[in-house]
Amino acid sequence: MRGEKLFSYNIKISELIKKRMRMLLDPKDVQQVSNDVMNMLHAEELEIINTFYDAVVAKDIDKITEFFPVVAFDVEDHFSTEEEMMEQSKFYAAPIHKAEHDTLRGKLKDVAEDWEKNKNPAAVRTFLEDEFKHWMVLHVARWDAETAMHIGDNA
């Protein structure tokens, strides 16, 4: 009995390791900020982006096509929620922070339009690995951390 449980446990661990190897963003790589709502938005986005990334790495055309609108909706929900919080709290650098959001919105829109035309997983993967990943880590550390300090934890 114990051997069966151990064997089952080892399989689960190896499955987790395989999944982690395909993870675009490890939650520990994205800074926690001083606002619970923002941390929740980031956690949800990481889960969605990592699921999307799995489909991209697997070159699963149907799953990528199905998941692109989910990614776009989540990113918009994330950004618009933060922007509303900045407006309500009269954050002094809201226009600059929003401009960063707008830049990524534009890039994501371009990648989605290219996807609709070409269905090229390699182009999506390049965007995720070379742009989105670094943008997310740096944006949270710079702008979201500062915004969260201004807003406080109003969750």
Domain count, the chain: 1
Q: Which domain, by its residues, includes 59?
A: 2-151
* The pLDDT value given to residue 62: 96
Chain-wide mean pLDDT for the chain?
Answer: 88
Please state, in angstroms and rounded to a whole number, the distance separating the CA atoms of residues 144 and 118. Answer: 34
**What pLDDT, on the 0 to 100 scale, is given for residue 9?**
40
**Interhelix angle for 36-57 vs 61-89, to 10°?**
160
CATH number at residue 129: 1.20.120.50
pLDDT digit string (tens) for 18-41? Answer: 454 478 999 999 999 999 999 999
- To the question of pTM greater than 0.75 for the whole model, the response is yes
Read off the pLDDT of residues 50-103 as tens digits, 9 standing for 90 and up: 999 999 999 999 999 999 999 999 999 999 999 999 999 999 999 999 999 999
Buried b (16+ CB within 10 A) or exposed e, 57-88: beeeeeebeebbeebeebbeebbeebbebbee
Rg, C-alpha atoms of the chain: 18
